């Protein structure tokens, strides 16, 4: 019965990617292509975090661990092994999966603020290891030297246009997969746990198993975003696994809307646009961003997409659409 909505989403995604691929032929702006690549990476990251925050009620302050893990693992495999790009990407996802199972098994037993701060502690531990293990990670200088063998099915991702289209396509696929996940009975279980964990357990839902599963899935999507960022910057740097990167994803969710599926994607675009515009005008980016977030929090009292949806007569803010 859900085949029609799924096919509709696929058709929309294909059309949007086709339009995205055509835009450079109309206005060949390198800055626009850079923006789309960065947006694809960070939107996947923010959307993956919202699987925990918006759908399951798990506020993670350290989700950037898996974003950074994606960048560093992928970069190390590409620089130090003879693996092709697709195989290195799969190996990165496998390593991320194992790490997420271990970290998740520890964290999901905790509730509320304890869960949030233990995830943050895990990310800070990973960042400390990255900084200290200079022989492997390059320390505070990061992994430089570029990415060799950047070919995917005969296409070179060193070409900016190819990476631009590839990033947009990966974002579209990621959004389709996450949309499917939250539309299934598994997604219903997530919302039940978020709304009333005790009642969900009474109804026979395995709370621990569902939480661990969504934790691992969100980590995998975050790692994909990290790999796109690694391809964009041709390296891996400590800033990509440090705790402020998790803050960026949280800000994107807050500004875009936790109650709408595409809210984090919209928030990511707002955040990156603010970054590009504000940094050109003032060096006090943090102060300016803080004021803007206060406007969202005190003025709209919800994310932009939640506000628009409510004004148009959609679901009330707080419900996931």
Number of residues assigned to the chain = 321
State the pLDDT confidence band at 317, using cuts at 50, 70 and 90: very low
Calculated CA dihedral for residues 291, 292, 294, 295, nearest 10 degrees: 120
What SS3 string covers 80-131? HCCCCHHHHHHHHHHHHHHHHHHHHHHHCCCCHHHHHHHHHHHHHHHHHHHH
Determine the pLDDT at residue 316. 45
Helix 304-311 with 243-256: angle, nearest 10 deg: 10
Determine the pLDDT at residue 215. 98
The domain locations on the chain are 3-242
Q: What is the distance between the terminal CA atoms of the chain, rounded to a whole angstrom?
A: 18
More confident site: 192 or 304? 192
Q: Which residues pair with 151 in a beta bridge?
A: 156
State the pLDDT confidence band at 3, using cuts at 50, 70 and 90: low
Determine the pLDDT at residue 2. 55
Which is nearest to 54 in space by CA: 207, 219, 213, 264?
A: 264
| pLDDT tens sequence across 41-94 | 999 999 999 999 999 999 999 999 999 999 999 999 999 998 999 999 999 999
The yes-or-no verdict on residue 5 having pLDDT over 90 is no
Q: Phi and psi (nearest 5°) for 190?
A: -60, -45
Average predicted confidence (pLDDT) for the chain: 90
* 3-class DSSP assignment, residue 143: strand
């Amino acid at each position: 019965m859900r085949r029609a909505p799924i096919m509709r989403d696929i058709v929309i995604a294909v059309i949007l990617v086709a339009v995205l691929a055509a835009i450079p032929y109309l206005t060949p702006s390198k800055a626009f292509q850079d923006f789309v690549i960065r947006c694809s990476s960070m939107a996947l990251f923010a959307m993956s975090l919202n699987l925990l925050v918006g759908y399951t009620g798990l506020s993670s302050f350290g989700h950037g661990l898996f974003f950074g893990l994606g960048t560093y693992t992928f970069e190390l495999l590409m620089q130090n092994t003879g693996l092709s790009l697709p195989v290195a990407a799969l190996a990165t996802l496998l390593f991320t999966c194992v790490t997420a199972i271990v970290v998740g098994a520890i964290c999901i037993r905790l509730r509320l603020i304890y869960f949030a701060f233990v995830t943050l502690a895990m990310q800070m531990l990973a960042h400390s290891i990255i900084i200290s293990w200079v022989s492997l990670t390059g320390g505070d200088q990061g992994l430089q030297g570029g990415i060799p063998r950047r070919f995917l099915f005969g296409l070179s991702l060193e070409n900016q246009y190819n990476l631009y289209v590839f990033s947009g396509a990966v974002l579209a696929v990621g959004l389709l997969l996450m949309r499917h996940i939250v539309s299934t009975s598994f997604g219903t279980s997530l919302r039940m746990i978020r709304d009333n964990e005790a009642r969900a357990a009474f109804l026979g839902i395995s709370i621990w198993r569902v939480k661990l599963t969504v934790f691992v899935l969100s980590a995998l999507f975050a790692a994909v975003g990290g790999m796109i960022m690694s391809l964009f910057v041709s390296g891996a740097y400590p800033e990509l696994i440090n705790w402020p990167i998790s803050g960026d994803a949280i800000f994107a969710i807050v500004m875009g809307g936790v109650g709408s599926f595409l809210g984090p994607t919209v928030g990511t675009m707002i955040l990156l646009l603010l970054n590009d515009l504000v940094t050109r005008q003032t060096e006090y980016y943090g102060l300016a961003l803080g004021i803007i977030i206060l406007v969202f929090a005190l003025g709209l009292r919800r994310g932009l997409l939640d506000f628009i949806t409510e004004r148009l007569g959609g679901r009330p803010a707080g419900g996931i659409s």
